[in-house]
A and B are shown apart, each in its own frame.
Chain A
Amino acid sequence: MKTLKFITAGNVDDGKSTLIGRLLYDSNSIHTDQLGILQKQTKASQNGEIDLSLITDGLRAEREQGITIDVAYKYFSTAHRKFIIADAPGHEQYTRNMITGASNADLIILLIDARKGVTEQTKRHASIGSLIGIKKAVVAINKMDLVSYSEAVYETIKAGFEEKRKELNYDEVVYIPVSALTGDNIVQKSENITWYKGNALLPYLETVEIPTAVTQQSRFQVQWVIRPKDEQYHDYRGYAGLVLSGTYSVGDKVKILPAGFETEIVKIERHQNSVAKGQAGENIVIHLKDNIDISRGDSILKINELPQENNQLKTWLCWFDNTPLNLSKTYLLQHRFKTVRVKIQAIEQKWNINEWKFSTTDEIKLNDIAQVSIKTNQNLFFDAFGEIPQNGSAILIDETSFNTVGACMLL
């Protein structure tokens, strides 16, 4: 099974850290020396029980304030699968850090306090997860022990989320009634929640399938050119990169963009071994029949599978910088290995993530999400993020601070 990367979204108050602590603790992934440290940290007022939430907050400032500021990665494995947890902050102020964690996740766990139901924060997290391309969601309705394990509470929350869900792009949403504190439906099926027929959380995570993108059109950008320039490998010229989607095979007729030349793949190497093909997610080195001037950022594409080509784009934009977007300024757009200069020409509409509604605006500030139109100084070869995410994503960089100020999901 592939490693499952998932993100947990919710507040410390919703039991997020306790949930992670529970998963790690019950799967024996916490070492005794770390447990010892936790015991020392756990306040005397907690009756000597270990505070599982202390496992996740790694920074001094986080422990001081009892909040999560930045995403922390945790690792555990069971007999069935390896897992990487991105433990993300819940506060709106740190949305950009949550997006960092979400961008590499296959699945999102949305934690809801059974007593509170779907909150603005739930909507915000659900919205971000969907926008950033996560296809699977678990709505973990937590603290069921505090609502007498009530099926009615569970059903109400489920119905409330289902109603809104059609506005999001999840392929699958499952609802699991849990109590992270008591361990109900976390690793084993709860004896207190007999009306629930589905899997407990961990068994679900162990078996959920994450499809790979091999069936899509093939995309490859040159990341690095390998040219040894010595006697033995005088004629060696390999184009190294990651297969972004689809497959590349020896014998494929390919077009090099932006130059426009057509040629053929004569050899593919993977870690110095010759292979017949390379597929999505693999680093390969492509050798071409003709000697063509190709450099980093150029695309090698099958001649009958070409992407969009344009210098005018529409895109979702998540804004991360304290300084608002400046429409008269030039920014850098890093589209995988190719960086171009861009101007944001217009803000089309803003997505109000708390209410899942569009509105018009003339300003984009920290943590805002909007659809904008962009002009680039040279053509990009791209796909819609919804179709081929690996070739439809880009980051926006400030030309003078060099900070990553935005994430783009191309439309």
Chain B
Amino acid sequence: MANSTHYLEQLEDEAIYILRETAAQFERPALLFSGGKDSIVLIHLALKAFRPAKFPFPLVHIDTGHNFPEAIEFRDKLVAQIGEKLIVGSVEESIKKYNLKETQGRFPSRNALQTYTLLDTIQEFQFDACIGGARRDEEKARAKERIFSVRDDFGQWEPKLQRPELWNILNGKIHKGHNVRVFPISNWTELDVWNYIQKHEIDLPKLYFSHERECIVFQDKLVATSEFIQPLPTDTVVSAKVRYRTVGDMTCTAAVPSEASTLPEIIQEIIATSISERGQTRLDDQLSEAAMEDRKKQGYF
């Protein structure tokens, strides 16, 4: 690893620049906030970009209804602490409104359904830009994303027709009804995010740190039991020391066995691991080779 934190400043400068550019170029931007570490970092960056003024955009949470209670609790605490506006879009309501069919299977993901709620929320509040915490190192379709990713009325990503994006000059001009997904931490890696959290002592939900949890052993993964995931008689259920490396839905995010209860310990584990972030924790990416590309084409971020 590079021997100074200079590279973290480079990444921070790039992200703040993108946040300000979004505020300046769009009439109704929004920051998508999930309560996960990447969007918590985004909020930290927005504080640096806009304080002492208020954020020039609201925070938007697309609530799948399958969240970890710790994440929701943390979300509300942080929002109160910084005194910014939070809009919650509910996947539960979209399911009722459109009579959507839930994904079947043992560990159903509402990732695909989330897109309906996101597009609905964008339409309701007429957002023209949505800032998200997606990173290019996460996944190979995301490795192809622009910083300003233009989406049409259907929210579709057109990977073969992306706008050229030169230097750091960002073109946010769009037709009415279209929107732009903005990715300020595109160039951050998972490790960069953790190093940044450590450097700036950013508070995280407790579930990122080692704790005792009852989990179902599913293939090579540990999935927490919860009101959404009940163990079957045939399941092996263990009580294990775990932490979460990513925080998605309770139904499709796996825990990582870990004793790491401090940031330096977590960072050591992440440096040492030979498994990728999504590979270790997401049950929904592994359905097919192009799962993410397909979701993005349908309007996912």
Report which A residues bind B (CB closer than 8 A).
1-3, 31-34, 37, 41, 57-61, 63, 69-75, 77, 79-82, 84, 96-97, 99-100, 103-104, 223-224, 226-229, 232-233, 236, 240-242, 271-272, 281-283, 296, 320, 332, 334, 336-337, 389-390, 393-395, 397, 402-404, 407
Contact partner of B293 among A59, A79, A228, A281, CB < 8 A? A59
The answer to whether A223 touches B166, judged by C-beta atoms less than 8 angstroms apart, is no
B17 touches A283 (CB 8 A): yes
B13: which A residues are within 8 A, CB to CB?
242, 281-283
Q: Which residues of A contact B53 (CB under 8 A)?
A: 226-229, 233, 236
Q: Which chain B positions have C-beta within 8 A of A241?
A: 20
Q: Identify 14 residue pairs between A and B in the complex whose beta-carbon atoms are under 8 Å apart, listed by A's number.
A: A33-B275, A58-B293, A70-B144, A72-B144, A75-B136, A80-B2, A82-B2, A103-B165, A223-B24, A283-B13, A337-B24, A390-B167, A404-B171, A407-B166
CA distance A104 to B14 in the complex (A): 12
Q: Given B1, B169, B293, which contacts A394 in the complex, CB threshold below 8 Å?
A: B169
**B276 at the A interface (CB under 8 A):** yes
A73-B143 in contact (CB<8A) = yes
- CB-CB < 8 A to B279: which residues of A? 31, 33-34
Q: Do residues A402 and B171 form an inter-chain contact, with CB atoms below 8 A?
A: yes
Given contacts A73-B187, A223-B20, contact A334 B164 (CB under 8 A): no
A3 with B20, Cβ < 8 A, contacts A70-B160, A236-B52, A272-B52 known: no
| Interface pair A33/B276, CB less than 8 Å apart | yes
CB distance from B209 to the nearest CB of A (A): 22
Give chain B interface residues in 138-170, CB to chain A under 8 Å.
140-141, 143-144, 146, 159-160, 162-169
Asked whether A233 lies within 8 Å of B52 as measured between CB atoms, the reply is yes
How far apart are the CA atoms of A217 and B273 in the complex, in Å? 46
A-B residue pairs, 5 tightest by C-beta: A33-B279, A58-B140, A31-B276, A402-B173, A228-B53
B168 interface neighbour in A37, A104, A226, A394, Cβ under 8 Å: A104
15 additional A-B pairs beyond A72-B144, A233-B52, beta carbons within 8 Å, are: A3-B10, A31-B275, A32-B274, A37-B289, A59-B290, A71-B144, A77-B2, A97-B164, A223-B21, A228-B53, A236-B53, A336-B169, A337-B21, A390-B167, A404-B164
In the complex, what residue of chain B is closest to A228 when comparing beta carbons?
A: B53
Q: Are B166 and A395 in contact (CB under 8 A)?
A: yes
B85 within 8 A of A: no
A336 to B166, CA, bound (A): 11
CB distance from A110 to the nearest CB of B (A): 20
Decide yes or no whether B101 CB sits under 8 A from chain A.
no
Q: Is the CB of A70 within 8 A of B289?
A: no
Whether B143 contacts A58 by the Cβ 8 Å rule is yes
Question: Which residue on chain B has the smallest CB distance to residue A335?
Answer: B169
- B206 contacts the other chain (CB 8 A): no
Nearest-CB distance from A23 to chain B (Å)? 15
- Distance of A79 Cα from B1 Cα, bound (Å): 5
Q: Which of B2, B173, B273 contacts A1 (CB 8 A)?
A: B2
B residues with CB within 8 A of A: 1-4, 6-7, 10, 13, 16-17, 20-21, 23-24, 48-54, 136-137, 140-141, 143-144, 146, 159-160, 162-169, 171, 173-175, 186-187, 189, 273-276, 279-280, 289-290, 293
Residues of B with C-beta under 8 A to A281: 10, 13
Binding site secondary structure of chain B: loop
Q: Are A393 and B166 in contact (CB under 8 A)?
A: yes
Q: How far is the CA of A84 from the CA of B187 in the complex (A)?
A: 8
Which residues on B sit within 8 Å (CB–CB) of A283?
A: 13, 16-17, 20, 49
- The smallest C-beta distance from B177 to any residue of chain A, in angstroms, reads 12
Q: How far does the Cβ of A377 sit from chain B's closest Cβ, in whole Å?
A: 17
- The answer to whether A58 touches B144, judged by C-beta atoms less than 8 angstroms apart, is yes
State in angstroms the CA–CA spacing of A130 and B166 once bound together.
15
Question: Once the chains bind, are A70 and B166 in contact (CB under 8 Å)?
Answer: no
A3-B2 in contact (CB<8A): yes
Residues in chain A near residue B144, CB distance under 8 A: 58-59, 70-72
Distance of A228 Cα from B54 Cα, bound (Å): 7
Shortest beta-carbon distance from A213 to chain B in Å: 13
Chain A residues positioned under 8 Å from B162 (CB to CB) = 70, 97
Cα–Cα distance between A223 and B143 once the two chains are bound (Å): 27
Q: Which of B20, B173, B289 contacts A397 (CB 8 A)?
A: B173
Contact A31 B167 (CB under 8 A): no
> Are B48 and A334 in contact (CB-based, < 8 A)?
no
Please give, as numbers and ranges, the residues of chain B lying within 8 Å of A75 by CB-CB distance: 136-137, 187, 189
* Distance (whole angstroms) from the CB of A201 to the closest CB of chain B: 19
Whether B137 and A397, one on each chain, are in contact in the complex, defined by CB atoms closer than 8 angstroms, is: no
Q: Known contacts being A33-B275, A58-B143, is A334 close to B169, with CB within 8 Å?
A: yes
Q: Which residues in B have their C-beta under 8 angstroms from that of A72?
A: 140, 143-144
Q: Is the CB of B136 within 8 A of A272?
A: no
Distance (Å) between the CB of A74 and the closest chain B CB? Answer: 7
Report B-chain residues with C-beta under 8 Å of the C-beta of A73: 136-137, 143, 186-187
B113 to A: closest C-beta gap in Å: 23
Q: Which of A70, A77, A103, A233 is in CB contact (< 8 Å) with B167?
A: A103
**Chain A contacts for B4, CB-based, 8 A:** 1
**Does B171 lie within 8 Å of A69, measured CB to CB?**
no
Complex Cα distance, B14 from A2, in Å, reads 14
Say yes or no: A58-B167 contact (C-beta < 8 A), given A77-B1, A223-B20. Answer: no
